[in-house]
Chain A
Amino acid sequence: MTKKPNTSRLHIPEPPFRPGDTPDYSHISVPAEHTLAKPDTLCEGHETSQHALGLIRVLRFNGEAVGEWNPNLSEEQLLKALKDMMMTRAMDARMFTMQRQGKMSFYMKSTGEEAMSIGHAMALRSDDMVFPTYRQQGILISRGASIKEMMCQCLSNAGDPLDGKSIPVLYSFKKHGFFSISGNLGTQLIQGVGWAMANAYRDEDGIASVITGEGSTAEGDFHYALNFASTYRAPCIINVVNNQWAISSFQGIAMGEGQSFAARGTGYGLATLRVDGNDVLAVYAATAWAAERARRGGGATVIEHFTYRKEGHSTSDDPSKYRPEDEPDVWPFGDPIERLKAHMILLGLWDEDRHAEQEAACKKEIREIYKQAEAMGSLSGDTNVNDFTMFEQVYETPPRHLKDQIDMFKAEQD
């Protein structure tokens, strides 16, 4: 079929590189760190419209931290950030391997995106409620959740705090301000805004932080969340983790002709920041700015965390089918752990030997915790989940027909 020139033609966006291509990202400009000023947190939303198109950065590749967004974290905070990112990566590696060994049906790694979770969690208050999606396990690690319980949730065994009622990775930890992850994408966005509005109604100053991948910004929930957050000035942060890939759909499928995901907020009059998501200090700084704005009554900020999904979407995905295998290695924003490491070495707080020791120690600790978790059951043996939990928590108190079911089941067991 030949088409006449200058006629309407269906446009299907294509990623720059496919398997077999040599990925070259030299066209992506890595902006200098000083180009975006840090406005007052109560500025008008439109005063941040340029921040939606640029990129807030603190860490240079040589390890220097520069510019007015530098959060100047203490030595203790830097050590914690590095350790938590390394623990997250070690846990992901272990769980992926054990999925391949048949111990659980499914797992999702956050490799390459640890800075988003860790930097974000550290800049929030512990009572701020997070409405995450499925690649923010680092938030739980940063907030001190039990890694054994997280693993037991994935193994769906007797130690699973959710009693085997949800699929691996869909964590729920209310005590750590971590909302139940939803398998149907995007619902947490508007629910988190509702939670924030409830806090504002009660004059409480805790804020909500809602998180989506760039792919799910196509869900209506994202747009409703922006609309309600704008209309009612909800004290929240709306985060888009742009890791470039929604399974095999590159970010252009969700973005269309938009200039950035942060810029989606501009039309709603919200503050908008786009941040180097592989720079843990920049993530921290942007989060701290947005959290302060929300707490001071300035309303919501949309933050786009620009990062890269280094591995498959999940254990069910094989990315070599749709993108070059070496693309993660040539991604121009580097690796978040390596970048923080370089910074800490430059400050004299760290060295290669300590790093190697810590890497080995994280691996060992994770292996030991995993061993304890798997001892409580796994998919390859007996899960050991108590059968009677099946009928619990359908309602706050079981109605008659469920009580009857429980009694009949008990009678069968006796």
Chain B
Amino acid sequence: MAIDIQMPALSPTMEEGTLSKWLVKEGDSVTSGDLLAEIETDKATMEVESIDEGIVGKLLVEAGTDNVKVGTVILQLLEDGEVAGDLSAPAAAPSPTPEIAPAAAPQMAAHAPAPKPAAVMAEPEYGANVKLIPTTVRDALRDAMAEEMRRDEKVFVMGEEVAQYQGAYKVTRELLEEFGEMRVVDTPITEHGFAGIGVGAAMGGLRPVIEFMTFNFAMQAIDHIINSAAKTLYMSGGQMRCPIVFRGPNGAASRVGAQHSQDYSSWYAHVPGLKVVAPYDAADAKGLLKAAIRDPNPVVFLEHELLYGETFDVPDMDDFVIPIGKAKVKREGSDVTICTHSRMVGHSLEAAEILAKDGISAEVIDLRTLRPLDTDTMVESVKKTNRLVCAEEGWGQHGVGAEIAAVVTDQAFDYLDAPPARVHQEDVPLPYAANLEALSLPSVQDVVDAVKKVMYVER
């Protein structure tokens, strides 16, 4: 097969040049490294080397030709047995003969052993005989970590103030006492640093749980979360695995200002390769954190500071694990669907109570997982209620509600009786003063109003 020699670039910016002189003639034998021609630009002159051995076939560009574009085939080298007459004009884009058997046509490429299916597939069911224990979200998260650390010694917790101080919000309470300082590790104050340590440890075979004092501080670590944790499995062709959990409070607390109050739900939910979980109640917090720790992928686990102290029933079961990727209908209704997550689930349930008094039956869906998104549950609900309200604590533009509204509009447009409505934070950095803060954040009343808007009833 003939080998094409192209007009090479002298520099990365060169687009064309002059082929000033041929140093070989047709029929010459050359070997790799032999000089074939001289080319020049207004800045420099360079010799073109042969890239292989063979016999010089046709010289396709005459000596002295100006403005020869980089990449133009200037000469063909013939292998033994070929004669110049065999050559047809070179194709514009010469294509090497593929060495691949036709059997390799569309089919999934074979790879490293297929990973085991996720341990958790179905929502745990429990009957009336299972005891329900009132538990704060804080303790439910703690219990989840403690149970997984007992189960698997590859699991460890790392972050600022997680050991001696028991966590800035006491979520790692008593873990140091039970598991010791090798598994509950206080770090220097650098989110970027300990997130990177966690990613390396995960790829090295451990299962880190990285606590951010708040996700606001994880901005510094986002390079490791997104560029490394989320993308390296893909970019390494499946070689580098990253089972890690990044967890901590996300969204607004009370009077902590713009740099401690942002909701990052839509930031992380945007990124392929990550799983993103944002539970509301204690049972989901526990069951989903256990699932997150067992998951072979990187999981961003968004908690809420204002929920840590709230108490919910948690079933007293040996291994209570909730599958990632499944939304939950928290309240059934027939007139409108409210899709929401994290603390806004509470606001939405309160709103549903208020609306019920006006004779409006609202269905409240707790998304629980933001990526992968359980679109089926939302779409099925809207097909029943014909109306949609999306409620979130973060900003509206490019937010979680925007995505849900788009998905539902796409998949259930003919079922909608009104345009979807969104409830979200005002489009300003969160102000500090109590009255301004309250005005900025979405409230129960905002949800009520949005529902009435899509119901076309007087507010």
Given A102-B6, A102-B71, A392-B238; A194-B106 close (CB under 8 Å): no
**Interchain CA distance A221-B5 in the complex, whole Å:** 44
| Chain B window 365-399, contacts with chain A (Cβ cutoff 8 Å), 1 for yes, 0 for no | 00000001101000000000000000000000000
Q: Are B204 and A199 in contact (CB under 8 A)?
A: yes
Specify the chain B residue showing the minimal Cβ separation from A199: B204
Closest CB-CB distance, A47 to chain B, in whole Å? 25
A155 vs chain B, min Cβ distance (A): 10
Partner among A170, A224, A378 whose Cβ is within 8 Å of the Cβ of B192: A224
Considering the chains assembled together, what is the distance between the CA atoms of A112 and B196 in angstroms? 31
Q: Are A174 and B234 in contact (CB under 8 A)?
A: no
Q: Which residues of B contact A179 (CB under 8 A)?
A: 203, 240
Q: Which of A316, A396, A401 contacts B12 (CB 8 A)?
A: A316
Residues of A within 8 A of B205 (CB): 198, 202
Task: Tell me if A165 counts as interface (CB < 8 A to partner B).
Answer: yes
State the Cβ distance, A304 to closest chain B Cβ, in Å.
22
Q: Which residues of B contact A376 (CB under 8 A)?
A: 98-100
Please, how many angstroms separate the alpha-carbon atoms of A375 and B272 in the complex? 33
List, in ascending order, chain A residues with CB within 8 A of B236's CB.
162, 166, 172, 174, 180
Give A179 to B232 CA distance when docked, in angstroms.
Answer: 10
For A371, give the chain B residue with the smallest CB separation: B52
Q: Which residues of chain A from 350 to 391 have a CB within 8 Å of any chain B CB?
A: 363-364, 367, 371-372, 374-378, 380-382, 384, 386-389
Q: Is the CB of B223 within 8 A of A184?
A: yes
Find out whether the CB atom of A198 lies under 8 angstroms from the CB atom of B206: yes
B94 touches A380 (CB 8 A): yes
CB of B190 closer than 8 Å to a CB of A: yes
B203 contacts A195, C-beta separation under 8 Å: yes
Q: How far is the CA of A261 from the CA of B63 in the complex (A)?
A: 51
In the complex, what's the smallest C-beta–C-beta distance from B107 to chain A, in angstroms? 7
The yes or no answer to A269 lying at the interface (CB within 8 A) is no
B372 and A400: CB pair below 8 A?
Answer: yes
Determine if B98 and A165 form an interchain contact, defined as CB atoms under 8 angstroms apart: no
A182 and B240 contact, CB distance less than 8 A:
no
Contact of B117 (CB < 8 Å), options: A160, A199, A397: A397
B residues in contact with A316, CB < 8 Å: 12
How many chain B residues sit at the interface, stated as a range, is 35 or more
B113 to chain A, nearest CB (A): 11
Are B372 and A396 in touch, CB under 8 angstroms? no
Using Cβ atoms and an 8 Å threshold, which residues of chain A touch B239?
A: 172-174, 180
Q: How large is the interface on A (under 10, 10 to 19, 20 to 34, 35 or more residues)?
A: 35 or more
Residue-by-residue, is A152-171 near B (CB-CB < 8 Å gives 1, otherwise 0)? 00000010111101100010
CB distance A381 to B96 under 8 Å? Answer: yes
* CB <8 Å contact, B237 and A172: yes
Establish whether residues A194 and B6, one from each chain, have CB atoms under 8 Å apart when the complex forms. no
Please give, as numbers and ranges, the residues of chain A lying within 8 Å of B33 by CB-CB distance: 363
Interface flag for B359 (CB, 8 Å): no
- Check A194/B204 contact, CB under 8 A, given A165-B235, A318-B13, A394-B234: yes
Q: Which of B94, B98, B233 contacts A384 (CB 8 A)?
A: B98
Contact of A197 among B12, B197, B297 (CB under 8 A): B197
Cα distance A376–B275 in the bound complex, in angstroms: 35
A386 to chain B, nearest CB (A): 5
What is the bound-complex CA distance between A89 and B156, given in angstroms? 44
A191 contacts partner chain B, Cβ-Cβ < 8 Å: yes
Measured between C-beta atoms, what is the minimum distance from B286 to chain A in Å? 23
Report if A220-B192 is in contact (Cβ < 8 Å); known contacts: A187-B224, A363-B32.
yes
The answer on a CB contact under 8 Å between A195 and B204 is yes
Specify the chain A residue showing the minimal Cβ separation from B227: A184
Q: Choose, from A58-66, A93-101, A333-341, the stretch at the interface.
A: A93-101
Residues on B with C-beta less than 8 A from A331 are: none
Q: Which residues from A are CB-within-8-Å of B12?
A: 315-318
CB distance from A134 to the nearest CB of B (A): 14
Verify if A11 is at the interface (C-beta below 8 Å from B): no
- Whether A224 contacts B32 by the Cβ 8 Å rule is no
Q: Is B247 at the interface (CB under 8 A from chain A)?
A: no
| B360 interface contact, C-beta 8 A | no
A221 & B273 in contact (Cβ 8 Å cutoff): no
CA distance A375 to B94 in the complex (A): 12
Whole-angstrom distance between the alpha carbons of A198 and B51 in the complex? 47
Residue from A94, A158, A195, A363 with most neighbouring chain B CB atoms (10 Å): A195
Q: Which of B200, B237, B325, B372 contacts A393 (CB 8 A)?
A: B237
B5: contacting residue among A101, A165, A364, A367, CB under 8 A: A101
Q: Which of B432-451 contact A (CB under 8 A)?
A: none
- Establish whether residues B234 and A187, one from each chain, have CB atoms under 8 Å apart when the complex forms: no
Task: Check B122 for interface membership: any CB of A closer than 8 A.
Answer: no
Q: Residues of B at under 8 Å CB distance from A? A: 4-6, 8-9, 11-13, 32-33, 49, 51-52, 71, 93-100, 104, 106-109, 111, 114-115, 117-118, 156, 182, 187-188, 190, 192-194, 196-206, 223-224, 227-228, 232-241, 272-273, 275, 296-297, 325, 372-373, 375
Other A-B contacts than A163-B109, A191-B200, A191-B224, 14 sampled, CB-CB below 8 A, are: A131-B200, A172-B240, A174-B236, A174-B240, A182-B232, A191-B203, A201-B201, A208-B200, A228-B197, A318-B12, A377-B98, A382-B95, A384-B100, A386-B109
Residues of A within 8 A of B (CB): 94, 97-98, 100-102, 129, 131, 158, 160-163, 165-166, 170, 172-174, 179-180, 182, 184, 187, 189-199, 201-202, 208, 220-221, 224-225, 227-228, 231, 315-318, 363-364, 367, 371-372, 374-378, 380-382, 384, 386-389, 392-397, 399-401, 406, 410, 413
